[in-house]
Every structure is written in structure tokens, then in C-alpha cells.
Amino acid sequence: MPEPDGRSTATIEQRAEHVRERANWMRRRFLRMIVDAGQGHPGGDLSATDILATLYFDVLRIDAANPMAPDRDRFVMSKGHCTGALYTAMAGRGLFPEEDLNSYLQPRSRLNGHPNRTYLPGVETNTGPLGHGFPVGVGIAVAGQIDEADFRTFVLTGDGELQEGSMWEAAMFAGHRGLGKLTVIVDRNRLQQGAKTEDTNGLEPLGDKWRAFGWEVVGVDGHDHAALLNAFDDACEPREKPRVIIADTCKGKGVSFMENQAGWHHGVPNPEQYAQALAELEAEMA
């Protein structure tokens, strides 16, 4: 199974720089997609970008030429509405042609608002309705445990999604099974559609809740690529418990007028806003 770009001999600093460049490209590319489509979820896309870039361009053991290889790592995008970031990562990794991104959310496009495994290679399960993806990811990890398989399972969830009861049922079962090859990443941007998570249905103390269900808990800056790489490297070591990485993120990260604004959970930048967003992202790479 081929390793991702440049990982085998690179230092952590070199790996982080590579991921940073890819994350910046992702942000610029999916903002164009959202503008062209006239719809999307830019706030959550931007908060999850650095996590997805780290996974797809460094961590995940997947082969774009054989995306259903039995020994592939499994990734489940439980916060399935953030497809702008997901699709750019998948295309950037070669799972489908980059030019297909131009069809995002268009009639008859494979690039739906929610990922569909019958349309796109590399999508493990359909997600979108909150509370569905993580339980499926636990089932995948259980199957791997039963088969004594080598693949690892990764799940990305939003923090608002953790208000769903199915998430905690899955967490309890995963802890009970000791699913050491399962890693869940919480995109902890503290905002959901229209409000703060803590004002809607408080989650804290979040780490203690996961520990009570038998999980190892790691906190990390979700926009620090080196910190993310270290957390994933450690998570991939043999262990007897599932691990959750609580990634402290900023909704709208990288675009100043979107940052920490619940109103950008969904929305479309106007021409002036889009120009400003691109200028800010290009300046970041200068």
C-alpha cells in the first residue's frame, strides 16, 4: 500500500509544510466551488480543512488506483455536510479527477451536498444526517478487529454532532470492545448552525466524557499541522483503547470575516467577499 506524499523520509517540519500548502490550496479551491454552486457550508469546511489535509496528504494509507483495496485505511466523514473540504482533499489525493470539482452541487453531479459511496471511490459510507457516520465507523473497526486486519479506521465528527445520542452509544460500545485501531477526531469549533454548542446543549467537560467511556483522549490545536501530525503518529501506534483527538478549531479559519461566525455555517461569499478571502489566503502563503 503506497504511503502518502513525501512521508517516508521527511522530517515533521517538512511534512507539516507540505500539509500546510495543500490545506491552503484546498481552502482556495472549495471557496471557488461554493461561489460557483451558489451554496455550501464554508464555515465548517474551513474549520476542518487542516485535519482533512493532514489525513489525506500524510496519514491515510490509501491507493488512489485501487481505492477499495482490502488493506486500505478507512475514513468516515461523519460531519457529512462539509463536502467542499472533503472533495478537494479526495481530488487532491487522486481519488477522482480535479476537474470534477467544477461540477460541485450541480444537477447530475457525483459531488452531492452529502458524500455518496455509490458515486465516488473512496467514500466508505453515505453521511450527512448527523449521528450516523461515527456509529458506522465503529462497525467498520469492529469488523477489522474480528478479522484481525491491519487497517486503521478514522472518523471526523463535528462537535455539534456530539449532541446526538447515537454518538455516545457508539462511543460506549467502542470503549467496551477496546477498538485500538479506531481514531475519532472532533472538530471542536464550538459553533453549530445558528449558535454556540455550549448555549445549545453543553458538551464540557468533553474529554472527561470520552474517558468515562473507555477512550484515550488527546487535545490538539486543530490548525497546527505539526501538532496534528504528532497526534496522528502517536494514535497509529499499537494500543488497547480507541483514541479521540479533540481538535480545537476556529469556524471559518483563514477568512477573517467568517472566523467564529455562526452565520457562516452555510452561505456564499459575494464577489467582494470572495476577492478578500482569496487575497487573505494567498497572503498566508507569501
Reported as a single tens digit per residue, the pLDDT across 152-190 is: 999 999 999 999 999 999 999 999 999 999 999 999 999
The answer as to whether 161 is a domain residue is yes
The answer as to whether 52 is a domain residue is yes
pLDDT at residue 233 in the model: 94
pLDDT digits (tens, 9 = 90+) for 244-272: 999 999 999 999 999 999 999 999 999 99
246 in Cβ contact with 207 (< 8 Å):
yes
pLDDT at residue 193 in the model: 87
Query: In a 3-state reduction of DSSP, which class is residue 257?
Result: coil
Outline where the chain has alpha helix (H): 12-37, 42-54, 83-92, 133-147, 165-177, 197-201, 206-212, 225-235, 271-285
Q: What is the CATH number of the domain that holds 60?
A: 3.40.50.970
Q: What percent of the chain has pLDDT over 70?
A: 97
Q: What is the mean pLDDT of residues 67-83?
A: 97
pLDDT at residue 8 in the model: 61
In the predicted structure, residue 212 carries a pLDDT above the cut 90: yes
What's the pLDDT band for 29 if we cut at 50, 70, 90?
very high
79 in Cβ contact with 156 (< 8 Å):
yes
In the predicted structure, residue 1 carries a pLDDT above the cut 50: no
Which own/partner pairs from 146-152 qualify as long-range (CB within 8 Å, at least 24 positions apart)? Answer: 149/70, 149/71, 150/71, 151/61, 151/70, 151/71, 151/72, 151/73, 151/74, 151/181, 152/61, 152/73, 152/74, 152/181, 152/182, 152/183, 152/236
pLDDT digits (tens, 9 = 90+) for 102-153: 999 999 999 999 999 999 999 999 999 899 999 999 999 999 999 999 999 9
The residues near 26 (Cβ < 8 Å, ≥ 6 apart) are: 49, 52, 53, 85, 88, 89, 92
pLDDT at residue 9 in the model: 79
In the predicted structure, residue 7 carries a pLDDT above the cut 80: no
Q: d(Cα 120, Cα 104) in Å, to the nearest integer?
A: 13
Q: d(Cα 96, Cα 88) in Å, to the nearest integer?
A: 10
Instruction: Name the CA radius of gyration of the chain, rounded.
Output: 18
Range of the domain at 227: 12-285
The answer as to whether 200 is a domain residue is yes
In eight-state DSSP terms, residue 38 is: T
The answer as to whether 59 is a domain residue is yes
The answer as to whether 7 is a domain residue is no
The answer as to whether 241 is a domain residue is yes
In the predicted structure, residue 99 carries a pLDDT above the cut 90: yes
pLDDT at residue 194 in the model: 85
pLDDT at residue 3 in the model: 57
Q: What is the mean pLDDT of residues 17-29?
A: 98
- The mean pLDDT value of the chain amounts to 95
The answer as to whether 136 is a domain residue is yes
Q: What percent of the chain has pLDDT over 90?
A: 94
The answer as to whether 227 is a domain residue is yes
In the predicted structure, residue 5 carries a pLDDT above the cut 60: no
In the predicted structure, residue 6 carries a pLDDT above the cut 60: no
Question: How many domains are there within the chain?
Answer: 1
